Amino acid sequence: MTTQTVRIRRAVRTAALCAVALVAVTPGSAHADWEDEYNYANDALLAADIAYADEAASADAAQAPRLAARSFALAGPGVLSAHAAAPAKLWYNGTEVTSGYYASSGDPAVSRYSAVMCGIYSAEAVPAGGDATGLFTMPTSHTRADPCGPGGRRVGSSHITSGSEVTPDSPDGQIVSTFPNKPANGLWGIYTVAIGPGDTVSALPGKVDAVLGIDKVAPTVTLTAPATGFHATTPSVVLTFTAADQPTLSGVAATECRNTLPAETAWVPCASGAPFALSAGNGPKRIELRVTDAAGNTAGTAVDGDATLSWDTTLTLTGTATVYGTPATLTATVATTGPAATGTVTFAEGTTVLGTGTLDATGKASVSVAGLAAGSHAVTATYAGDATHTGSTGTYTQVVTKAGSKLEADGAHLRIAQLSVTFSARLTAVDGTPLVGKTVAMSRNGVTYCTAVTDARGDAACTTRHLTIELLAWVILGGKYDATYAGDVNRTGATDKSDRAWLSIC
């Protein structure tokens, strides 16, 4: 059953509740450990409850108590009634608990009274089925000076202003109750009585209203995996453990784990058979396991081991020399002493990225790079690492040789009417692909007659009108000349000798 705080004289009531907790721990107080006889003469809080009740004001219709039906039976008109609700915590190990209560003055003339929470102890265990309310021998008489009666003791109280009672189905308020400590397990029966002005006190209940179990026995826990001296190679390990509480006790409420090496982390919920994340980094590891029962008792264990969660890597970059115009293949091999590295490798020349490759199961990544100019290229491959591997780099000098070229001189064409000689040649790659935009020079005996730039078919043609008798005789006699391509940064030069010429009138 839930509890609900009523709107009453908060300042007075709060002071009383705080004082309850103090009485439980003050040496020589009425709530001494293991005490079986309760001395109300020394209970200053009870005296305050009685004094509060005796300050009752005259009847005030605006503050008359609500006499609607409750979850407990009123003793009769004009008689105080009180009833304990189930405590918010059904098990405890010697600490404070919060219980609820219902209360009614039953008399509009009673505007102030106190609800006193009482406890009676039994060394019995919780019976099968869980109903333990009949295990207690209830007192048969009580007074305002001894409100709980022989065998019972006051464990908390609350001051009530008439009219603060709430709906019939909800507790009127809550009391922080402090029970005397006991050396063994057992049960506390809880009941509530009310103290009014003068000599008024509510009737004793026939049996306790609620039962609070005393559980002073810690649960048990056994951790079987990972074993002592474990060596982890993954960021988490699967825990295997058993946690239990003794029969009839409060039961396991929580299992929590944390790392304490190399640094302490916060407790987090954990479960047997589930993975638990280790602290980052390589080296010693310690896992602590804590089990808490519903009463707040704890038990713990720990296991030590170590982990290699991050492996160093080395990167080797290789390739083969290639000819300009042919793609270069670069291969990075990432080696490690642990499991195979995963991820990608980036290949770059300076700040220019040439490509990215993904590591395969053997730790290799390759890229094919086209468009490299002839010459030497300093290539760097970079592996950034993954969750369990460090990064690494490697370098390689990729050599690209110049591509060859092929030149065919066509011949010299003498046009008599135009007094000109035209020279022609065709320039291609070795495979026959036309080379466009390249300069070809036409010469004989070291003298260049003219130059031309190749067109889309690789053809170059140029004309000279500086005719001399020697040139005319040379053409007529066969017109042999040299066509020369000097080459460029990516291609080798080529030359060819023409051994033919022809004449035309036009």
Same fold yes or no, 220-307 and 313-401: yes
For 294, phi then psi, to 5°, come to -65, -20
Instruction: Identify which of 183, 169, 146, 136 has the alpha carbon closest to the alpha carbon of residue 43.
Output: 146
Does the structural domain 220-307 have CATH classification 3.40.50.10210?
Answer: no
Mean pLDDT of 186-198: 87
What does the pLDDT read at residue 158? 85
CA dist., res. 451 & res. 461, Å (int): 8
Phi first, then psi: what are they for 40, rounded to 5°? -70, -20
Q: Which residues contact 137 (CB under 8 A, 6 or more apart)?
A: 120, 151
Identity at 91, one-letter amino acid code: W
> Over 70: is that where the pLDDT of 21 sits?
no
The region that residue 474 occupies, defined by phi over 0 for left and psi between -120 and 50 for alpha, beta otherwise, is alpha
Residues 9 and 66: their CA atoms lie apart, in Å, by 18
431: left (phi over 0), alpha (psi -120 to 50) or beta: alpha
Which tens digit of pLDDT belongs to each residue from 346-355? 999 999 999 9
- Percent with pLDDT over 90 in the chain: 45
pLDDT in tens, 83-129: 888 887 778 787 678 888 888 876 666 778 888 999 998 888 766 55
How far is the C-alpha of 97 from the C-alpha of 20, rounded, in Å? 11
Nearest residue to 247 via CA among 217, 267, 273: 217
Answer whether 83's CB lies under 8 Å from 94's CB.
Answer: no
Task: pLDDT band for 19, please (50, 70, 90 cuts).
Answer: very low
Distance CA 59, CA 76 (A): 18
Domain 405-504 belongs to what architecture? Answer: Sandwich (2.60)
**Cβ(401)–Cβ(489) below 8 Å:** no
pLDDT digits (tens, 9 = 90+) for 430-439: 999 999 999 9
Q: Assess whether pLDDT exceeds 70 at residue 281.
A: yes
**Cis peptide bond prior to 219, omega within 30° of 0:** no
Question: What's the token pair of residue 127?
Answer: 């019976």
Q: How confident is the model at residue 78 (pLDDT cuts 50, 70, 90)?
A: low
Tell me which fold the domain 313-401 belongs to: Immunoglobulin-like (2.60.40)
* 416-438 mean pLDDT: 90
DSSP state of 285: E
SS (H, E, C) 365-428: EEEEECCCCCEEEEEEEEECCECCECCEEEEEEEEEECECEEEEEEEEEEECCCCEEEEEEEEE
Domain residue ranges of the chain, discontinuous segments joined by +: 10-214, 220-307, 313-401, 405-504
Determine the pLDDT at residue 66.
Answer: 34
- Compute the chain's Rg from CA coordinates: 51
Alpha-carbon gap, residue 172 to 103, rounded angstroms: 7
Which residue do the tokens 């290789």 mark?
318
Cα separation, 166 vs 218, in Å, equals 39
pTM of the model: 0.54
- Token reading at 455: 């067109």
